[in-house]
Chains A and B, each alone.
Chain A
Amino acid sequence: MINWAKRKLAFLSKILPLSGPDEKSESALSQDRYKSLRIRLFFLIAALAGVPLVVIIIIGSVWLQGALREDFNNQLKGNIESTRQSIDFFIEERISALRFLASSNSFGQLSDGKYLNDIFINFKREFGELVDLGLIDSKGVQVTYSGPYDLRGKNYSNQDWFNAVAVRGVYVSDVFMGYRKFPHFVIAVKKELPEKGTFCILRATIDMATLNRYISTVNLKSKDDAFIVNRVGILQTQSRYHGNVLDTVNLEVPRPKEAVTLSEVRQGGTTFIFGYATIKNSDWTMGVMVAPTAQTSLVNLLASDIAAIYLVLLLISLGIFANIRITVKVVNWIREAELEREEAIVQTHHTGRLASIGRLAAGVAHEINNPLAIINEKAGLMKDLMQMTDAPIDRDKFIGLIKAISDSVHRCRTITHRLLGFARRMDIQHEEIDLNDTIKEVIEFLDKEVLYRNIGLVTRLKEDLPRIVSDKGQLQQVFLNIINNAIDAVKDGGKIVVSSEVKNRNMVRISVQDNGQGIPKDAVKSIFEPFYTTKGKGKGTGLGLSISYGIVQRLGGDISIESEEGSGSTFSIDLPIRAAGQ
């Protein structure tokens, strides 16, 4: 049980500041200390659990934001791609329709205004989004026209689109105002007339609003923008940030060949994700600017989800609850361990004290036996004189025998009173004591052994040594242990010097020096450990010095040893003049 308590406390003392060996009493471990310990432990656990949690949250947040960003980008790409394909399809569909009209009808048919008007009506019914339809001969003159404007006979030979379609066979123009005075674009296809060695062009005009409608299919938030721009940076549709149709954008717009391309652009202090996609059969590029933070910020994501907030609060509450439970449990564990240690120390102390008393009792028994033996002999002689001899009673002799008995009784009483002086000091009590007297009393107990073994026990006690406030009974035990050890250490005829002196204004020093066998260097560091003994088997409990160390520490002092193997040892006991805590 002692070792278990020690191991448990040793482990705990590594992670928590527990009491030292000199703070052993339960009373010293006040409720305040346990409260403080609980608080420290709570924060320690919170830090131990919280730091990794915060790190995980940060890493998770970064990862999640990355994942969200990627997901967002993929969605944006998909959205742009979808819109681009719709516009591509729109244009291709009309090009195909115009090509079909051009190939399936002769120049003569198309030159007939009524015929062209019928085609225009059917075309518009089928495809919609058509403003007008015209046939232009190879000289650039609009031969027939069907639509709301009077554009028959207009000559387009000097316009770029006419030349372009003559060369390429098909042409989708940029948005322009032209004769119609509103933003529109044209789709034109070339029809070869091999029998005449010439060609004609079938041209359809489409309102710019059509493009706006397609662009509006991109899912945009209030701050986002989507537009179409031509190769030279002129807007083909309206833009939130870059102006109206036919304005020039202050933005470098690339023309990616295949997939949608994304990049980051700063606009008005906000970072936007800018997506581009090239529209086929035209010089157009579709651009979409989206502010990503509003959708990808984890905080905003969480803030937008009240359930997530409740979940986080619940987890935090559970964490705090678990932390409190663990803290209380660990502190109670520490408290129990300290109580067990207290109990173990008390038991050890008691065992050591019994060992000291046992040795003391053996000496006392021998010492008291001598006067008892004298009493026995004197009384026996008186009986013998009366029963075994015929001589008259010698009154003076009898008085002498009785006096000898009385003296021996007095001698016994002195010994028993001295022993009682030890026995009654079992409880800790502080009083003003004369250390020199205490030392002398202890030495009196050991006089006989010292005498029998012819040991030279010398005292060098400072005459005006200050009286100290301490526990006399505890100090008697310490001195008895140390001097007994010295007696054990020296050979018969050895020498022991017990001295007292003032160490400084606060401390006095008691030294016990012997010329015994000394203690090996490697044993000195363990000499105060419980159950450590350099004496032979059965000759020492190994508790005396450990207990003495504990007592002196509790009394606010210190005990140290200097030893040289073969020369002897000196134990120095420093004691405060005023008791610890006073």
Chain B
Amino acid sequence: MAKAKILLVDDEVEFASTLAERLNIRGYETSTVYTADAVLERIAGNVPDIVILDLKMPGASGVDILKDIKKFNQSIEVILLTGHGSDQCNSECQSGGAFDYIMKPVEIEGLTVKIDMALKKKKG
């Protein structure tokens, strides 16, 4: 069975790379992008199943990137990373078409549950 492809988007390099390594250990095929500008280019080259996207990126809003991703490929599920949960964050997720959001620091078990749920949804 093919591994699920996950793209991690976060300007915090240490965070993104380490989380990617942990997800790799758990059997996911993970890649990372550290700037907003590079997201669409990466997706165009290698379409991921799931994008884990930081809501606050320098020079761009996570919600805007989310909308761009959905515009490019509706089937890609996006899980947002946020520093703090709020009603506003929740509504932004829903209006942008995100699958869910998860707060930093990330509980890896919680994240993998959401990833698996997103994959299940994607496969219909």
Q: Do A and B come from one complex?
A: yes
Chain A residues with CB under 8 Å of B61's CB are 452, 492
Of B19, B61, B106, most buried by chain A (CB within 10 Å of CB) is B19
For residue B15, CB closer than 8 A to chain A, the reply is yes
User: Which residue of chain A has its CB nearest to the CB of B57?
Assistant: A452
Question: Of the candidates A362, A373, A381, A454, which one forms a contact with B21 in the assembled complex, judged by CB atoms under 8 Å apart?
Answer: A381
For residue A374, CB closer than 8 A to chain B, the reply is yes
User: Which residue of chain A has its CB nearest to the CB of B62?
Assistant: A452
A399 to B22, CA, bound (A): 17
Among A54-62, A200-208, A363-371, A525-533, the stretch in contact with B: A363-371
For residue A376, CB closer than 8 A to chain B, the reply is yes
Question: Of the candidates B12, B25, B58, B60, which one forms a contact with A373 in the assembled complex, judged by CB atoms under 8 Å apart?
Answer: B12
Chain A, residues 484-498, CB within 8 Å of chain B (1/0): the string is 000000001000000
User: Do A362 and B84 form a contact, CB below 8 Å, given A374-B14, A389-B25, A452-B58?
Assistant: yes
Chain B, residues 11-37, CB within 8 Å of chain A (1/0): the string is 010110011011001100000000000
In the complex, the answer to whether B106 meets A366 with C-beta atoms within 8 Å is no
For residue B40, CB closer than 8 A to chain A, the reply is no
A15: min CB distance to chain B, Å: 51
User: Which residue of chain A has its CB nearest to the CB of B17?
Assistant: A377
User: Do A375 and B84 form a contact, CB below 8 Å, given A366-B56, A381-B18, A454-B58?
Assistant: no
User: Which residue of chain A has its CB nearest to the CB of B86?
Assistant: A362
In the complex, the answer to whether B59 meets A377 with C-beta atoms within 8 Å is no
User: Do A375 and B105 form a contact, CB below 8 Å, given A365-B84, A384-B22, A404-B14?
Assistant: yes
For residue B104, CB closer than 8 A to chain A, the reply is yes
Chain A residues with CB under 8 Å of B15's CB are 370, 373-374, 377
A335-384 at interface with B (beta carbon < 8 Å):
362, 365-367, 369-370, 372-378, 380-381, 384
B124: min CB distance to chain A, Å: 30
In the complex, the answer to whether A373 meets B104 with C-beta atoms within 8 Å is yes
B65: min CB distance to chain A, Å: 12
User: Which residue of chain B has its CB nearest to the CB of A385?
Assistant: B25
For residue B44, CB closer than 8 A to chain A, the reply is no
For residue A388, CB closer than 8 A to chain B, the reply is yes
A230-269 at interface with B (beta carbon < 8 Å):
none
In the complex, the answer to whether A366 meets B21 with C-beta atoms within 8 Å is no
Question: Of the candidates B18, B26, B57, B83, which one forms a contact with A377 in the assembled complex, judged by CB atoms under 8 Å apart?
Answer: B18
In the complex, the answer to whether A370 meets B25 with C-beta atoms within 8 Å is no
For residue A451, CB closer than 8 A to chain B, the reply is yes
For residue B108, CB closer than 8 A to chain A, the reply is yes
In the complex, the answer to whether B22 meets A381 with C-beta atoms within 8 Å is yes
User: Which residue of chain B has its CB nearest to the CB of A493?
Assistant: B59
A548: min CB distance to chain B, Å: 27
SS class, residues of chain B in contact with chain A:
mixed
A462: min CB distance to chain B, Å: 29
User: Which residue of chain A has its CB nearest to the CB of B58?
Assistant: A451
In the complex, the answer to whether B84 meets A377 with C-beta atoms within 8 Å is no
A402: min CB distance to chain B, Å: 13
In the complex, the answer to whether B59 meets A372 with C-beta atoms within 8 Å is no
A380 to B110, CA, bound (A): 13
In the complex, the answer to whether B12 meets A370 with C-beta atoms within 8 Å is yes
Question: Of the candidates B22, B25, B26, B59, which one forms a contact with A454 in the assembled complex, judged by CB atoms under 8 Å apart?
Answer: B59
Chain B residues with CB under 8 Å of A448's CB are 56
In the complex, the answer to whether B105 meets A372 with C-beta atoms within 8 Å is yes
A62 to B18, CA, bound (A): 105
Of A374, A381, A385, most buried by chain B (CB within 10 Å of CB) is A374
Question: Of the candidates A367, A369, A452, A454, which one forms a contact with B105 in the assembled complex, judged by CB atoms under 8 Å apart?
Answer: A369
In the complex, the answer to whether B84 meets A366 with C-beta atoms within 8 Å is yes
A351: min CB distance to chain B, Å: 22
In the complex, the answer to whether B56 meets A377 with C-beta atoms within 8 Å is no
In the complex, the answer to whether B22 meets A380 with C-beta atoms within 8 Å is yes
Of A372, A373, A376, most buried by chain B (CB within 10 Å of CB) is A373
Chain B residues with CB under 8 Å of A452's CB are 56-59, 61
In the complex, the answer to whether A369 meets B58 with C-beta atoms within 8 Å is no
B45-84 at interface with A (beta carbon < 8 Å):
56-61, 83-84
In the complex, the answer to whether B25 meets A374 with C-beta atoms within 8 Å is no
Q: A373-B15, A373-B105 given. 6 additional CB < 8 A pairs? A: A365-B83, A377-B106, A378-B18, A381-B21, A384-B25, A452-B58
Listed A/B pairs (12) with beta-carbon separation below 8 Å: A365-B84, A369-B84, A372-B104, A373-B12, A378-B18, A380-B22, A381-B21, A384-B25, A384-B26, A389-B25, A452-B56, A492-B61
Interfacial residues, chain A to chain B (CB-CB below 8 A): 362, 365-367, 369-370, 372-378, 380-381, 384-385, 388-389, 401, 404, 408, 448, 451-452, 454, 492
Q: Which 4 A-B pairs have the closest CB atoms?
A: A376-B105, A366-B83, A377-B18, A373-B104
